[in-house]
Structure 1
Amino acid sequence: MVSIDTYNACVDFPIFDAKSRSLKKAMLSSAGGVIGKNANNTVVVEALKDINLHLREGDRVGLVGHNGAGKSTLLRLLSGIYEPTRGTSHVRGRVAPVFDLGVGMDPEVSGYDNIIIRGLFLGQTIKQMKAKMDDIAEFTELGDYLAMPLRTYSTGMRVRLALGVVTSIEPEILLLDEGIGAVDAAFMNKARIRLQDMVKRSGILVFASHSNDFLAQLCNTALWVDHGQIRQAGLVDEVVEAYEGPGAGEYVRELLKRFETQDADPRST
């Protein structure tokens, strides 16, 4: 049984060379965690504070909040990249962290080679990735470019390649940080459907996103992360409304109704 449990989990980053002037400037910033001092009188940034999460199979959680609020740090805590400074974090299940679509790619080798490299980075084997090669190639629509070095690709082409690899895996726990805005609308719709299929194959999804469309389609609950703390938890439309206002909440509710109709009658797509 896959699960995520955190109990009052905190993540602090010590700043050993902090100067009083820069510290004052940081304290006045609207982004980032709370700045204070630890028991050794060292300046620290409290990136996450008192995080309590209890997720089980079937949970699809969206993370909302401004840049620097702590969403990516939370994903890294759940992936095991960061250990809690205080409190505890227990994650059971095979984790697929997808934080940066470009991580694990080599600009000097071909698209085909990068499919293998990126797959290995995500915990797959060479054999597994070779078996998925044709499907990934068809999805990306990159054609002969797959035989060319990655450095010849545009940003949108790189995103296509990375998305093809990411959406081919079958994780038990998927930790996804959105970074897929550099492709055209038609391909984005295609990618959204493929992402939705991947989410259905995963046991737990935690998804940090600024896109209400993606949140409505992929998530059933949401967390508002603000200055390293969970400010509100609840249904997607409720949390988005609290964070962005009534208009955004109503937009998400309309999307949810539309997606429910499409699920009930696939011909409506």
Structure 2
Amino acid sequence: MEELEKEHKKATEIPLFSIRRKEKATIFSLNLSKISWFIIFPMFGFIYANIAFACLTNFSCLQFLPTPLYLGCFRGHDRLFIVACTYFAAILVLLNLSTYSYFKAKVSPVTRKGLFILGFSLSVVLALIGLTDEATGAHTIPLEEINYYLVLYFKIGSLIWIGQVYYSFRKNQDLLNPNSKSWLRKFETFLAIFGILALSIIFEQSYLSFDSELSLVSENIEALLEWVFLGLITLMPAVIMQIFKGHVLEFAIDKSQDTEGVELKRMENP
């Protein structure tokens, strides 16, 4: 317990953001565990302000609660949907860079590069989901079908990425400090809740695909589950970044060699 408190104190002493110069290089440092909460908070605003505004204006949500993708098709709400998708895609880029740097020399090069490529593709696909969902039904190109497959890719790709990241953390948990191990256990609990909710939504949607009149729950409850699920997805990057507590993500620019580098570095003496 004392060691855990010591690690926590050390992590809290690391500044949120810093710039320093080392020889001819300029190094920008981000405290991931701290900054994650700041960058996640606006995302919750984008999501739930959108549905709140919809319930106050265009929808009687007690009678019909729109799902996130359904709401994203409506004029006025589509813009905020695009902003939310694009903003979260940027968060995923930061998360992807962090995991890529963290697992350096901890996993095989193939796994590490595979995670990076998959993570980067998920960021691109998420931005495209926002654009195609907004334009569905208003373009000669069959964007509705394209949007469907983009969403499907994002779902499957995210599950693979999260599963591989979790497996890599578990495989290297002996290298984690006590604080990070504590957050890894919280991440496991988070994944259990996430999995149960995801399976519930998938089962309900699969059940309805056979007969639209057969539903285990009302459409409103199903939509509510999707909004809660979306909130968990939004929260997940911040939870993962807490495992990096005590580390900073460094962006180094060396003007003398005209090179750039990204590295997740443990701060021993913050």
Q: TM-score, normalised by structure 1?
A: 0.24
By percentage of residues, which structure has more helix?
Answer: 2
By percentage of residues, which structure has more strand?
Answer: 1
Higher relative contact order (CA 8 A, sep 6+): 2
Q: TM-score, normalised by structure 2?
A: 0.24
